[in-house]
Structure 1
């Protein structure tokens, strides 16, 4: 009887402890500024649970995880206070590539030591940089980002003000591993992020069957790039370039395909010998160049042609100069215009009457990206394809990895 009296309270205490450690989450988002227009949230407890489950079910990874935990590069022992929701945000009127986050530090000196162990360069005034990652330590906080342009603004808005806006995580995320949200005034548009066995999915619709039809069609191709977009999707994409191409050019849809090829390019230079005679020197280098075809349908092909001419995208040789890869040829026909490369032409796959973009992996792509680290090249080489789909306002992005012995969460 006495044992029961002791065991029951201990069991209840254990249950409460497990709840707070594994399930209870602080949903107060304190580090998203009012001028943010996009927010990415990662549920760190859900991510940790998913990682541990994958680790337990893949014993082959156990020895590697032990070695990793002993290394000085472990984030767990870096002095960072891991939040329940990692908050990454983009600030209005900044470049698309600029993203920031604010981290709480349990031990600023230990975190500085962690940065040094990762060969992060000290820039002075508590600022650090490694490649395209920037860090600034302010007391028990660290502002991190892909740029340092907004560090001072973030510091004033969040770290030195007691009147900032505290967001609720439920406005952005609902029981998924992560989310990406776009903020426009009081309107918030949310997209869920899920990490599966060998793919990452981002979408704004809980019913995946709506876009599975697109995937089943698009995945059957074999070109490096294939895309098909209607007028609305063309309008959405050209907003990034502040161009109203779909409206001004009378374009109704666009279909394109491209492949990558490695070619030998001869560069001719001239030198002078000892007698100042001009000597021709030829150098052959291998370059990556796409072969492509773009088919544009239009309500008024003549107006489409005139629009391209007004933008100075067609030269005297009927080359479409808005595509930088030359040579190519642009041709007007009854239904629109066609642009195709004249070197190694390709055949256009049939129209699927869907809105999608699919980019398949190609060794020529990542081998030509000299600035990538070994880890980044390994991750890119592991990707099979990236697929974007859209149907009636339902958007979906799938990053599909190649089949492997381990799930993505243990590979990357």
Structure 2
């Protein structure tokens, strides 16, 4: 038999197989309820291609078994791996409440997998482990960071006779993922790009603005730097549940903070055998910030009264809206300034930009005792987190420390 006649069909078959395994995607989004106001899409096949390419170009990882075990456990758990992982937030829900729906190949095998992972049955096919909740509905499973929306999602997605099906092209264009905000028929999309040592979320491809701001901030060497205008303040106050952002009358805020390890005294009282009161002192090291917050206001007097009304400033002129004490709040013709009193610091120069810059710190890492080993490893690998805004352009960058491996092989 002519070898060319055999090889040509094999190459064609291999090409078709590679296309369907790594490139062809079902773009129908069937699991986003009508009252979702934010959607995160993860392009699973895009990430798979990135992972394979990174693995091929880093032979030192060819013998690594860690990721193989993780992948194998998921493959054997009874779930279907989707082309697009659909994660959504429900209108009116808390900022921390996010949900997703996964299809099941074998519900019984998946239930066994949950027991193996130490999920606890809460009855009615609902399972919980820490802050993760699952509800198995036939051959589908609703996953969420809260149990409050499970019933509503089941009703809207699985018990509705007619449901509009969205298309992935409405949200994502050739990136590893996207986050989109929905307001009626209007959709505002932000791409999520996974690079060798950073993750970027943005709606603008121009990196010069971000690089210029970050370069200046890194020269100051503070743990936290932030500068926001009135529109950004309104967005932040709304995100944290302060819905009357306009009442603050603040048109600009500038924050500078550093971390310091201090000795904290714990005083307890007990009684001896004769019922005499005994004072006992114990000492522990805690992490506290030193900071200065400058609120610029159009009408400082009204802002001061509003802070007092909300009990954010007490009778001792301490700003109590943040848990880091002691501090002192004072006002002048430009606004209100809050300074930590234990170790005052100088405010860094204003850049007249909108940004939040958080630099990683060993002191911050050491205080996160409740995290798992994996979470601690990931956080310790981060160099800084940056948020920036200019007009209608937004950026979020999570920059990792330089390493021998790209993030997709590290994390």
Q: Please report how far the alpha carbon of residue 318 of structure 1 lies from its aligned counterpart in structure 2 after TM superposition.
A: 1.8
1:119 and 1:249 map into 2 onto residues whose CA distance is 46
Give TM-score, length-normalised by structure 1: 0.93
Give TM-score, length-normalised by structure 2: 0.94
1:390 and 1:81 map into 2 onto residues whose CA distance is 38
The correspondence of residues 6-405 of structure 1 with structure 2, limited to 5 A, is 6-65=6-65, 68-70=67-69, 74-240=73-239, 241-245=241-245, 247-405=246-404
1:5 and 1:347 map into 2 onto residues whose CA distance is 77
Tell me if structure 2 keeps the 8 A contact 1:73–1:117: no
1:238 and 1:68 map into 2 onto residues whose CA distance is 40
Q: Please report how far the alpha carbon of residue 161 of structure 1 lies from its aligned counterpart in structure 2 after TM superposition.
A: 3.2
Give the secondary structure class of the aligned counterpart of 2:154.
helix
Give the secondary structure class of the aligned counterpart of 1:307.
helix
Q: Deviations over 1:221-261 (max 9, x none)?
A: 3111110111111111112223434x334322111111122
Give the secondary structure class of the aligned counterpart of 1:369.
coil
Change (3 A) 1:167 1:4: same
Tell me if structure 2 keeps the 8 A contact 1:40–1:88: yes
Q: Please report how far the alpha carbon of residue 8 of structure 1 lies from its aligned counterpart in structure 2 after TM superposition.
A: 4.1
Q: Deviations over 1:331-355 (max 9, x none)?
A: 2223222110000111111111111
Tell me if structure 1 keeps the 8 A contact 2:128–2:134: yes
1:341 and 1:331 map into 2 onto residues whose CA distance is 12
1:17 and 1:378 map into 2 onto residues whose CA distance is 37
1:323 and 1:397 map into 2 onto residues whose CA distance is 24
2:287 and 2:243 map into 1 onto residues whose CA distance is 29
Give the secondary structure class of the aligned counterpart of 2:403.
coil
1:296 and 1:36 map into 2 onto residues whose CA distance is 34
| Mean CA deviation greater in 365-374 or 51-60 | 365-374
Q: Please report how far the alpha carbon of residue 313 of structure 1 lies from its aligned counterpart in structure 2 after TM superposition.
A: 2.6
Q: Deviations over 1:48-70 (max 9, x none)?
A: 000011111111111113x6535
2:70 and 2:177 map into 1 onto residues whose CA distance is 28
Give the secondary structure class of the aligned counterpart of 2:62.
helix
Give the secondary structure class of the aligned counterpart of 1:74.
helix
2:160 and 2:2 map into 1 onto residues whose CA distance is 55
Q: Please report how far the alpha carbon of residue 211 of structure 1 lies from its aligned counterpart in structure 2 after TM superposition.
A: 3.1
Q: Deviations over 1:111-132 (max 9, x none)?
A: 2232233233333332222211
Change (3 A) 1:156 1:5: same
Q: Please report how far the alpha carbon of residue 71 of structure 1 lies from its aligned counterpart in structure 2 after TM superposition.
A: 6.7
Change (3 A) 1:288 1:110: same
Q: Please report how far the alpha carbon of residue 216 of structure 1 lies from its aligned counterpart in structure 2 after TM superposition.
A: 2.4
Q: Unaligned regions of 5+ residues in structure 1, if any?
A: none
1:303 and 1:98 map into 2 onto residues whose CA distance is 34
| Mean CA deviation greater in 21-30 or 309-318 | 309-318
CA RMSD of aligned residues (A): 2.0
| Mean CA deviation greater in 176-185 or 317-326 | 317-326
Give the secondary structure class of the aligned counterpart of 1:409.
helix
1:365 and 1:71 map into 2 onto residues whose CA distance is 29
Tell me if structure 2 keeps the 8 A contact 1:269–1:280: yes
| Mean CA deviation greater in 279-288 or 205-214 | 205-214
Tell me if structure 1 keeps the 8 A contact 2:55–2:62: yes
Tell me if structure 2 keeps the 8 A contact 1:72–1:117: no
Tell me if structure 1 keeps the 8 A contact 2:22–2:48: no
| Mean CA deviation greater in 124-133 or 374-383 | 124-133
Tell me if structure 2 keeps the 8 A contact 1:100–1:144: yes
Aligned residues: 410
Tell me if structure 2 keeps the 8 A contact 1:211–1:390: no
